[in-house]
């Protein structure tokens, strides 16, 4: 089956700095790559996604890039704010979702 | 719309007991699934369904049963609970049965097996 690896496991940045989280996947047939944000004690919620026919997607301060050849995709958050503090999960899907192990982002005021 | 509703939110079981986690959605989604979340391991798929009467196994199906008799409901059954099943369980649904669309998660059910 698919194997999704996510790095780093924890990330601490100063407010206003950028944060980058990286994921790799093993199944070249995976064609959908979402990112979910989970605040403490809450349910995961989709923040951005990208499909295999697109290389980059932006939504305000959040962007995702996909390199199909290298089988990796990344989440970029610019101008981080304290409310960005949460656990972020990447996932890869062909006919099932496989999630990374998560990155705990801490934005220091 | 209430979205995805899970019950109970918390449950403590003794080893060997059985129980059912309930999941209901009112968005007419065909795809429903169950995940377990353990520290440092992300979300792992237990079972999923692409429509009423259809279920299939995910990554970690052992010890769990599911059924899908209606579009709205997708219960998860633990037949004989084990301490290794202590976890937070999330039900999720999607309007996209091909698994290339947004997952809508319930609030989660925290299960402790003693």
List residues in chain A touching B: CB distance below 8 A.
Answer: 1, 4, 6, 9, 31-32, 34, 36, 42-46, 49, 51, 89, 91, 93-102
- For an interface test with B, give the residue of A37, A97, A99, A101 to mutate (most B CBs within 10 A): A97
> What average pLDDT score do residues B21-27 get?
97
CB B34 within 8 A of CB B89: yes
Cβ-defined contact of A89 to B102 (cutoff 8 Å): no
- Alpha-carbon gap, residue A41 to B107, rounded angstroms: 9
Q: In the prediction, which pLDDT does B2 show?
A: 85
Indicate if the pLDDT at residue B100 is higher than 80: no
- Mean pLDDT, all residues of chain B: 95
> What average pLDDT score do residues A32-52 get?
96
Closest residue to A96, CB basis, from B58, B90, B108: B58
> What average pLDDT score do residues B66-85 get?
97
> What average pLDDT score do residues A50-73 get?
95
- Alpha-carbon gap, residue A21 to A74, rounded angstroms: 6
Closest residue to A99, CB basis, from B42, B99, B102: B42
């Amino acid at each position: 089956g698919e194997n999704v690896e996510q790095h780093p496991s924890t990330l601490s940045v100063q407010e206003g700095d950028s944060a980058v989280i990286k994921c790799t996947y093993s199944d070249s047939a995976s064609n959908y790559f979402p990112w979910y944000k989970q605040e403490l004690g809450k349910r995961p919620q989709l923040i951005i996604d990208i499909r295999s026919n697109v290389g980059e997607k932006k939504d305000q301060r959040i962007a995702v890039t996909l390199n199909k050849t290298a089988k990796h995709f990344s989440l970029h958050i610019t101008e981080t704010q304290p409310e960005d503090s949460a656990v972020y999960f990447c996932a890869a899907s062909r006919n099932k979702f496989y999630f990374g192990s998560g990155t705990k982002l801490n934005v220091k005021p | 719309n209430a979205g995805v509703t899970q019950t109970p939110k918390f449950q403590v079981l003794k080893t060997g007991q059985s129980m059912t986690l309930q999941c209901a959605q009112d968005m007419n989604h065909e795809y429903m699934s169950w995940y377990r979340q353990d520290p440092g391991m992300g979300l792992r798929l237990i079972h999923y369904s692409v429509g009423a009467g259809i279920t299939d196994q995910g990554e970690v199906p052992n010890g769990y049963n599911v059924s899908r008799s209606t579009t709205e409901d997708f219960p998860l059954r633990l037949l004989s609970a084990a301490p290794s099943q202590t976890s937070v369980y999330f039900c999720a649904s999607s309007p996209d049965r091909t698994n290339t669309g947004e997952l809508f998660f319930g609030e989660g059910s925290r299960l402790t097996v003693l």
